[in-house]
Chain A
């Protein structure tokens, strides 16, 4: 019996083919994907593929750029991806995709229809970072050849993993983007990516916020910082404010915001309590010998400077109906009854809700000067 089974096993092995065997150098890894709208309701898919030079054991790249781009217009993203197979001799695979760039125009029209392929395909990595192309099409971003950077995708990934970047740009992986998109009480955000032609580099500047699946508006860098504080995203920021003719920068800023919900006439009002932890990074007046009283004054000045910024951003987000700061989520999680009541008209409720902001700054140290 055992012999028979062994034979069967061998037989099975013998009749098997290698359906999924494809050598690594026979695969073209799509490392960055850009999605733009095209005429006639179609989508234009741009894909970056690293170039393998023939050199044995050599470093990646070696030519002028380490990658090439393929562009295809089709009715769906999947169709475009499949059609791209005709443009490369290798097997174009999505498994190693690191970055997704959505064109701003496409994002404004709604992203849900664009990312279904990336959500549905189990091979598409959920870790890929989502970016919105600032002002331009995703294709324009992807076809930009940075002179020094060999492979944009890996550079972008590295940027996403660098903690000090969580200052005015907050990277978001696809799974989290989708999670916020699907979650009824949340809205997604994504960093904006642009190209500086003169400096020849990518620029991450500001954040795109969504209302539902549509791009609602963009925040500039300072607004993004306020957003980062409100959404608990800022990990190591640098905040600058002006007070009494001096310019002061706080470094290593960490923010922590709690939302207190109050109910008035069956409508929620939100009170943001933001606590900021920071160190003194720069003081243009160059003052030394800070006393506890000076610390208190500095903290007070920082509070005065920050609160209006935060308030403005909250108002802006409310006007856009973009709930990227977890108002709805707080309501849903901790005020169930109220949430059930306002759930159906949540966007309107959010827009009209009374919001107040309270800021408290903790200055812990001031560097190597007394």
Chain B
């Protein structure tokens, strides 16, 4: 069990053994630093967690100064020479490791079975930033910092588990961009980690400018329309993914983490689904999925129903819509294509506008243009309604990339509907589905847990998995399945 301290193991007295033991426990992360501070004295700390000046001024310098003297090292002298601060003596390796993960520096004296931990943890150094895309009502307001060291610190403070593995890579011949890979060694599928390492090591490029580069370089299928990796700017989401047995990849200079493996289902899950109760979360998620369905299918459906299969509409509805179309100058196809294109341009345009002006322009463009367009007989009000619903619905999913995918596919649906109506929609929809079914993300089917079907994991799709489900879903082949044991249950 990962959360239970492994008791019993004493702290090795030999310095090399101590170093090896620590490295072993933590999987030799790149931020684990050992510094010799005089003869037989080793200071171990996680660089991402400690304040360098604190460490130097509070621990390393006094130790070194002592070393310059002639006195024999003993814990008594040692402790006396250090400035007073919170100090703990540890005799158990597991406890020492825990201290290490909490931002302490361990001071080890060769020949002694005790280490002393000095708190030297440091505050966050970057101004906290809010997530821009994946905003939630509830939950953390932090997004990943751009500096990798800070990001590593963030993940380490959120997940103080000795099983958390942080592996470092440098990619890009010219940029030498630092990249960190996070996973839980006793949960994640070893094959997955191996595969990620393989793919990262395969990359020969002059520069990695953003995690977006990396995303495309490690994806299973570069020609797929779907994002086969999940990007997130939310640390809580990253931590949740790591807990699921997935891996997170962070790139220095990029505030966006990459989570693998990704499934289409995963892209519709917002982190706050899990922060609300079961039914609240399921309710929100249901409408999110519905919204995305609308975003991809509504214009096509509109054209199919109005242009090819109007028999499906109730007569009054058909007549009202026909009425609203009667004086419109443009044919239906051109009208809806034009509106869709304009909306896409609006989206792109408003992205560059300063936020303050952006809202005003948005209102002006939306309301004034809409009314004027209808008044002038360029577009019908029904089309306007459909296009606006589609535009808003396309933002209902938390993942931006897959939103773009649907926006592209929407045009495909539109054309299929124009040519063959509902039949065209059905077949084209199946072709899209086939494309998705063809995709794998790091050995996991993109349509999992629907296909291959994992009945237990199916709860966590349109509805939300109850937190009290005590096992991990099998989607990502976790090495360890147990997740939760409620205390009351244990006592029973």
A and B bind: yes
Residues of A that sit less than 8 Å from B by CB? 2-3, 9, 13, 16-18, 20-25, 27, 29, 31, 50, 52-60, 93, 95-96, 98, 123, 125, 151, 153-154, 157
Known A-B contacts A57-B323, A60-B316; the reply to A123 vs B418 at CB < 8 A is: no
Counting chain B residues whose Cβ lies within 8 A of the other chain, the interface size class is 35 or more
Contact B415 A53 (CB under 8 A): no
Contact A56 B377 (CB under 8 A): yes
Contact B315 A21 (CB under 8 A): no
Known A-B contacts A52-B322, A52-B323; the reply to A21 vs B310 at CB < 8 A is: no
Contact A55 B318 (CB under 8 A): no
Residues of A near B308 (CB, < 8 A) are 20-22
Residues of A near B310 (CB, < 8 A) are 24, 27, 29, 93, 95-96
A56 to B377, CA, bound (A): 8
19 A-B pairs in the complex with CB atoms less than 8 angstroms apart = A2-B438, A3-B223, A9-B431, A16-B420, A20-B421, A21-B308, A23-B325, A23-B331, A24-B306, A29-B315, A50-B319, A52-B326, A53-B323, A53-B326, A56-B323, A57-B381, A58-B324, A60-B316, A96-B311
Q: Judge whether B82 is part of the interface by a CB distance below 8 angstroms.
A: no
Q: How far is the CB of A92 from chain B (nearest CB, A)?
A: 13
A333 to B1, CA, bound (A): 69
Residue in A23, A31, A56, A60 whose beta carbon sits within 8 Å of that of B381 in the complex: A56
Residues of B near A29 (CB, < 8 A) are 310, 315, 318-319
Q: Judge whether B400 is part of the interface by a CB distance below 8 angstroms.
A: no
Residues of A near B419 (CB, < 8 A) are 13, 16-18, 21
A53 to B431, CA, bound (A): 41
Known A-B contacts A24-B322, A25-B326; the reply to A56 vs B380 at CB < 8 A is: yes
Contacts beyond the supplied A9-B431, A16-B420: 11 A-B pairs with Cβ under 8 Å? A23-B331, A23-B332, A57-B381, A58-B323, A93-B310, A95-B311, A96-B315, A98-B315, A125-B311, A154-B315, A154-B316
Residue in B307, B375, B420 whose beta carbon sits within 8 Å of that of A23 in the complex: B307
Residues of B near A55 (CB, < 8 A) are 323, 326-327
Residues of B that sit less than 8 Å from A by CB? 223, 306-308, 310-311, 313, 315-316, 318-328, 331-333, 374-375, 377, 380-381, 415-416, 418-421, 431, 438
Contact B323 A60 (CB under 8 A): yes
Closest to B312 in A: A95
Closest to B319 in A: A60
A56 to B416, CA, bound (A): 28
Contact A18 B315 (CB under 8 A): no
A95 to B415, CA, bound (A): 23
Q: How far is the CB of A212 from chain B (nearest CB, A)?
A: 31
Q: How far is the CB of A189 from chain B (nearest CB, A)?
A: 25
A77 to B294, CA, bound (A): 41
A16 to B420, CA, bound (A): 9
A22 to B325, CA, bound (A): 13
Q: How far is the CB of A195 from chain B (nearest CB, A)?
A: 22
Residues of A near B313 (CB, < 8 A) are 24
Q: How far is the CB of B363 from chain A (nearest CB, A)?
A: 22
Residues of B near A27 (CB, < 8 A) are 310, 322
A96 to B418, CA, bound (A): 20
Closest to B375 in A: A56
A60 to B323, CA, bound (A): 7
Nearest 5 Cβ contacts at the A-B interface: A95-B311, A25-B322, A25-B325, A24-B322, A24-B306
A187 to B326, CA, bound (A): 45
Q: How far is the CB of B187 from chain A (nearest CB, A)?
A: 34
A98 to B318, CA, bound (A): 13
Closest to A153 in B: B315
A58 to B311, CA, bound (A): 21
Max chain B CB contacts within 10 Å: which of A13, A25, A153?
A25
Closest to A16 in B: B419
Contact A22 B307 (CB under 8 A): yes
A98 to B322, CA, bound (A): 18
A125 to B310, CA, bound (A): 12
A98 to B421, CA, bound (A): 23
Known A-B contacts A16-B419, A98-B315; the reply to A21 vs B323 at CB < 8 A is: no
Contact B326 A54 (CB under 8 A): yes
Contact A18 B322 (CB under 8 A): no
Known A-B contacts A54-B327, A56-B380; the reply to A24 vs B315 at CB < 8 A is: no
A136 to B411, CA, bound (A): 53
Closest to B379 in A: A56
Contact A24 B327 (CB under 8 A): no
A17 to B316, CA, bound (A): 29
Residues of A near B327 (CB, < 8 A) are 54-56
A154 to B318, CA, bound (A): 12
